[in-house]
Every structure is written in C-alpha cells, then in structure tokens.
Structure 1
C-alpha cells in the first residue's frame, strides 16, 4: 500500500507560502516540503519598493507567516536551497548539492528575476537592482549616504524607488527609453499624471533616452549626454524564472503555460505567481502578469487542483502603487497590441479620478487614483463584457452601479 503523498513547492515567496497554507487548510495531511532559494522565511515583495524601502515598515511585517506557523502545520522548510532539476517521469526533483526528493505533486512558484543591463558597466557593483529583501535593505542604506542617483526605467519599480529616494532627500534622474513613464501600461494621456507628480517632487526625467554605458560618474547616453550619479538603479523589468520548467520539457511560452486550474502540460506539475501564463476563462486568453495579487490568490486554485478538486482562477489582474500623496489601484487587462480609448471620471489635474480603458464601449481596465472603495464596481463593469454609456461613465454624479447592464 502506498504511503502518504508528498507535495513539493519549488519557490520561497508569497505564492509558495499561500500554497502551503491552502493545502493544509484544505485537509492535505501528507508530507509538504517548501524549497526556497533565499534563507529568509517567505515574504511579500510590495513593501520592498514602498514603505519598507523608506524605513516606515518593520521587517517582521513583511513575512507571510512566522517560523512557528510552519512547524505547527508540519511544513518542511528547506531554505537556502534550490530545486535544480525535475525528472517528471520519475516524479523526482534534485536539490542543491545533489539531494533528490520524490513528489506526487509539484508546484512551481519560482517567481521572476530582474532583467540585467547588458551595456558596458552594467555589471558594476554600484548598479543596484530591487527584487529581494536584501536588495531593499541595501538600497535603503545607499539612499542614506549618497547625494544623487540615476534610475534606468520609468516603470512601477523605477517610480517607487524615485519616490523613496526623494523622501530620503536624494537627487533623482529617471532615464526612460519611451516618451513618458508607464507609457505601455497607461498610454500617453494618463501617463502625464505620473510625470507631473514626480516633477513636482523634484525628479528629473530624461525621455527617449538610450543608455550606452555605466561609468564611474553615472550614465552615458547614446546622444553623448552624461547623467551624473553616485549610484545607478536598474528597473528595466523582470523575466519569469522558467529554467526548471523548460529543462523538464513543460510547455513554456512567456512563462509556464498553464490552464485555468494552474496545471502545466504535465498533469502532476502546477505553476503559480509570476511564472504562470494562465488561461483566464473570462478574458478567453492566456495572461501572465507580475502582480502581487496573483502570487497572493493563484496558489489557492493550484493547491485545490493538486488535491484533485475542480477549480479555476478567474480573478482579474490587480495591482496598486503608493507614490508621495498618490494612491492608485488598477484592475483589468489590456491585451498586447490593443489601443483602447480612455474615459476619465473626475479631475486628472487634481489627481482624483478614475480612468477607464474601453474597446467597442466595453471596459477592459480601470484605474482609481485617490478615490477608494470602487474596485467592486469597476470589476463588475469589466466582467459584464457589455457596452456601457460613456457619458455616464465620465460623470461623477452617476453612480457606477447604475451603469452595470441589467
């Protein structure tokens, strides 16, 4: 008679911890092993570029569970260790040092890695990246001792680091290849809000710029301009860590391709979080987003599927940011290549508004800025997948719930 099942989780972040939590909560009583590359307990990443980076959050608050929780729930923590290989036929993983561990079900939650600068000088020790808690603590200490930094990349991480640096009194220049920050996500009209916000707080932008070298004194651009800086922070995106999945022969296409139940092309291997390119039943397409909400919520679906229970991940993509006095929530998904129309509800200049992105009068995504308790309504508008009245959408005096199709 076979013994109790063994489930292995490859990854040591939020997704891994939430999967372990759901498995135990749903009654799994077999062996449960969590293998994490970092020596830290699984933790949440959003604070690393927000309050924790600014010294406003306590270290213990970033951890998903304290160490006693794992002991009480009989979760074997193998920290400072990596899964280095998968043998799907033998149902076995290889760990750092050559140890092998059998599994009945395997969850890949290996997350993503920062994209590295490939220009000369990009590997200098004074070029910093932000992904781990150690990175955040190193950057915070750096901001306390330098006078000026250059940030390459005006995405969410780049802008949040800029806000933290200005709070620390550091001079900031943001270098961006596009003509505005967040241009691909927000489009030129809404992106101007973030340009104005950061300029008001003393951030300098250099747009349409192409760094060609990192030097002792800063960044050299393609047109010969030199951006002086004591330290350079690279925020040029992240790439899903799919090396294990690819080597194991799983289907990989912009991440590990999985169904709505987070199952990979191997029936006993699942994936969740940044690496999962998951089929979304509502959107009727595969979607991979590197958002905290996926790492938080996808593992519950994966865990139930690992237990043989039918489930599908149908949450809409969601993320948030806090920069200076601006707080924002974004929900929905704009497919690559789409050029939707934008409808603004509220005051763009005062930075109190909701932006809606529409195609054929259907809401694809919405972003509320300094307006709260509206995401239930914006999600409902997106989920309806029906045309809405644009005039009513733009009118703050028309309640959002009245715009929902009957």
Structure 2
C-alpha cells in the first residue's frame, strides 16, 4: 500500500533515475515515487547505443533498465514523453509540459546531458546526426547499413569516445570514415598524447582516416542533402552523412531557472551537489551526468558522464533522500569496445595533474595496463585487453600510497603485491 502523504519525484527517466526509483523501493520507502522522462521510451542504458546495438549485436529490448511491467509492479508512477517546464522550490512543486502540477517532499534531478551542436552553416541539411538517445541510434544504425552497401562516406566531427566507437561500428558496416579533430590525437584531453596514439593507430589499421588539428567550418550540400565538409585549414572531405560527436552539455536549464547553484563551467558545469548529492536546496538532489559533486576521495568537484556514474550515483542519491548518511566516493570508471580492443579506465587524471605515465605489458600488441601518476601515486589506470584487474587498480588509486614504479611497470610482479 502506497502512502500518499509522502511523495518523492525524480525528473529524468534514464539509468540514474530508474536505479534511484528501484533503490527507494528496495530500501522500504512506501510513499509515492514519480519518475518523469521527456522521451517516450522506458528508461534505458546508453552504452549499447554506440556499441552493441549500433553494431547489430544486441537487440533493442536489451537496452532497457527494467521490463516495462516493472514500474507498475513496484508502484512507480512513470510519466513518459513529458518535459518538466517549471520547478517552484518554495511551493515544492513541479510543472509538466501539459500543465500538470505535481507536489514533492523530495526531488531528484537526473536530467542528464545533451549533445553539443555544431555552430556552422549546413547543420540543417539531411544527413547531419547526433548520438545521445535511442531514437538517434536507431536512425544511425539504418544510415550505416545503407552507407555500407553504397560505399558511402561518413565524416565524424570529434575523436572522443562516441566518435571513435561510431567510427569502429561504421567500419564494421563497410563505411568510409573520416574523423576531424582539433587536437593532435584522439582522446587527447582524456588520455593525453601518450595513450591517444594507441587509438589512432588502431583505427588507421582498420581504414579510418584522421584529420587532426582542424575543425569543421561548413557542411555543404546539394538538393538539401549533405555532400561534403570544409575545415578551417582549407581542406574539403566528401561526405554523405555527418556525425557531430563534440561532447555533451549538462541539462541544467530547469535547475538554473529555479535558482539552484550551478558549478563553474571550468569545473565541468552541471548542478553543484555535495558529497551526498544534495543541491543548494536541502530537499533537492541531483545524480548522473548533470551532477557536479564534491568527491571525498579525489578532492574538489567532478562531473562524470559515463554509465557507471549513472548506475551508482542514482542509488546513493535515493538513500540520501531517505535521510541515510551516505557519501558518493566511487572511483570514476568507464569502458569501451572498439574492433578487437576492450578497455576499462578507472580514476581521474586530467591534463596537468599527472607527472608520469607508464605501462606494464605490450603496448604494440595492445595488451597492457597504463598508469597515470603524480609523485609516485596512482591517479588513474587503464587496462587494455587485460582483464580482472579493475578492483586492484581502483584499490591502488584509493590507497593514495607511493608505489615502486619499477615494480608497477613490471608484468612479472603481481599487481596486488603493490598493496601489501
């Protein structure tokens, strides 16, 4: 029996929101749980959109967080296809796009992020894509299938994780791929030049063409269709389709309009929350891509857009809403699969924060673990085609201890021994 005297509302029906709703019920909350999303699909997980589903290896139904019937079975009121247009914190009430007003006792914002747009001529042409939602992935999957049959060209703006994963998928369909990236190598702001070239070489071996040190300035077309792209160094590349993969921006409009404190853009933007994921309003919480949290382990603020953050921060926020004494101190984690390369990354090592990068294993064979260190302490680790080491890597990061770098780089020395 639901206790209608207490209402917890979750705005954002993605992975973080769905896992928060699940946690509220598993923790014994008997009040109303209302989960609101502006998409018409049930909550789903995003990694497959640029990996297994896009490649055709996973079925559409595999991406959903819960079966459709789960929400009614657990008394979670699910509002789909409904944007939230207003948040009145004084009245503790939200307004939906259709004018419905819903009161809350506690509110969780899991509004996520949205793809950044190319601000250049030609983006209104047919054949310009973004990849963030399930509908985007379905359309892009059909596009890649067609391009592969016709030996068509795809230009990708951006050599980040999404850009590279789509490049790998496109090559699997037989599509000609050119990636335009302003940095000197892929993933430069994430992995630095030391490891970015590993991914450049991988993609070149599979036929991807890179154009580094350049940005798109125009998408040209004919009869309303994409025909080519121009770059700021005067180059022209043929293109039948274009994917903008230049990052994502946190969806903070609702929070900003309601007067919640936001994090500085230089620190990643998003809604500023404490280590318990509480915003500047004690009755409002935020989790997932949109939350910029004080991190007890790493120090300072951090906004993380990856799957594991949504998976783990939603439940922590739910417990905090229930008044439990919780902290969100997970080591950041993400993974990728590209061709025959599988990778897991743990930690945080922004450019300028580390003074050494070393690897154990064979980088040439793409079977190694890389470490980013500062003053002999491990800040982050990336295992490439090496498995069952993530827990140990994360323990090294958590320990904060100085390590013997010679032993760290030596694959004959058990990694766990460095914790003894």
Compute the TM-score of the two structures, normalised by the length of structure 1.
Answer: 0.98
| SS of equivalent to 1:192 | helix
- Residue by residue over 1:133-152, the C-alpha shift from the partner in whole angstroms, topping out at 9 and shown as x without a partner, is 11001001001112111000
Deviation at 1:335, TM superposition (A): 4.0
Deviation at 1:200, TM superposition (A): 0.5
The reply to whether residue 149 of structure 1 matches residue 150 of structure 2 is no
| SS of equivalent to 1:283 | coil
Shift >4 Å, 4+ stretches: none
- Asked if the contact 2:171/2:206 (under 8 Å) is kept, the reply is yes
1:104: which partner in 2?
A: 105
1:174: which partner in 2?
A: 179
Deviation at 1:82, TM superposition (A): 1.2
- Asked if the contact 2:354/2:379 (under 8 Å) is kept, the reply is no
Deviation at 1:126, TM superposition (A): 1.4
Q: 1:252 aligns with which of 262, 284, 288?
A: 262
| SS of equivalent to 2:204 | helix
For residues 404 and 317 of structure 2, the distance between their equivalents in structure 1, rounded to whole angstroms, comes to 38
Deviation at 1:106, TM superposition (A): 0.4
Residues 5-404 of structure 1 correspond to what in structure 2 (within 5 A)?
5-146=6-147, 147-216=152-221, 217-253=227-263, 254-335=269-350, 337-404=352-419
For residues 146 and 416 of structure 2, the distance between their equivalents in structure 1, rounded to whole angstroms, comes to 50
For residues 50 and 281 of structure 2, the distance between their equivalents in structure 1, rounded to whole angstroms, comes to 35
- Kindly tell me the number of residue pairs found equivalent between the two proteins: 404
| SS of equivalent to 1:52 | helix
- Residue by residue over 1:233-282, the C-alpha shift from the partner in whole angstroms, topping out at 9 and shown as x without a partner, is 11000000011111111110111010111100000000000001011111
Superposed CA RMSD: 1.0
- Asked if the contact 1:328/1:368 (under 8 Å) is kept, the reply is yes
Structure 2 unaligned segments of length 5 or more: list them: 222-226, 264-268
Q: Structure 1 residues 95 and 336 mapped into 2: Cα distance closer, same or farther (>3 Å)?
A: farther
- Residue by residue over 1:181-225, the C-alpha shift from the partner in whole angstroms, topping out at 9 and shown as x without a partner, is 001111112111101100000000000012110111221011221
Compute the TM-score of the two structures, normalised by the length of structure 2.
Answer: 0.95
Deviation at 1:337, TM superposition (A): 3.6
For residues 244 and 205 of structure 2, the distance between their equivalents in structure 1, rounded to whole angstroms, comes to 23
- Asked if the contact 2:189/2:351 (under 8 Å) is kept, the reply is no
- Asked if the contact 1:117/1:123 (under 8 Å) is kept, the reply is no
- Asked if the contact 2:278/2:285 (under 8 Å) is kept, the reply is yes
| SS of equivalent to 2:53 | coil
Q: Structure 1 residues 336 and 261 mapped into 2: Cα distance closer, same or farther (>3 Å)?
A: farther
Structure 1 unaligned segments of length 5 or more: list them: none
